Amino acid sequence: MRPIAEMIVQTGHHLEWISVCPSELRPRTEAVDVAARFFLESVAEMSESELHKNYCGISHGVCGISNFYNAAQRKLENDVR
């Protein structure tokens, strides 16, 4: 099995790509939810030195999750109008 840090970095990069790719190319919402949950829970358990060492992949994952959150907020705001 691959090291958890490697899985977090790969998941982070994939989450960002998924957040910016055309919706027809995205996996099922449930799969993205599982990946995001894994990413967030795993990052929360990392030590400060692991966070620094894996900053690149982590920052991509945070960006991807932020993109999804912002898109959901915009949708909610448009639905209210």
Give the closest residue to 11 by CA, choosing from 61, 79, 74, 69.
61
| Domain housing 73 | 4-80
pLDDT band at 26 (very low <50, low <70, confident <90, very high): very high
pLDDT band at 19 (very low <50, low <70, confident <90, very high): very high
Residue 76 confidence (pLDDT) above 90: no
Residue 81 confidence (pLDDT) above 90: no
**Structural domains counted in the chain:** 1
Residue 73 burial (10 A CB sphere; 0-12, 13-18, 19+): exposed
What pTM did the predictor assign? 0.86
Tens-digit pLDDT profile for residues 28-42: 999 999 999 999 999
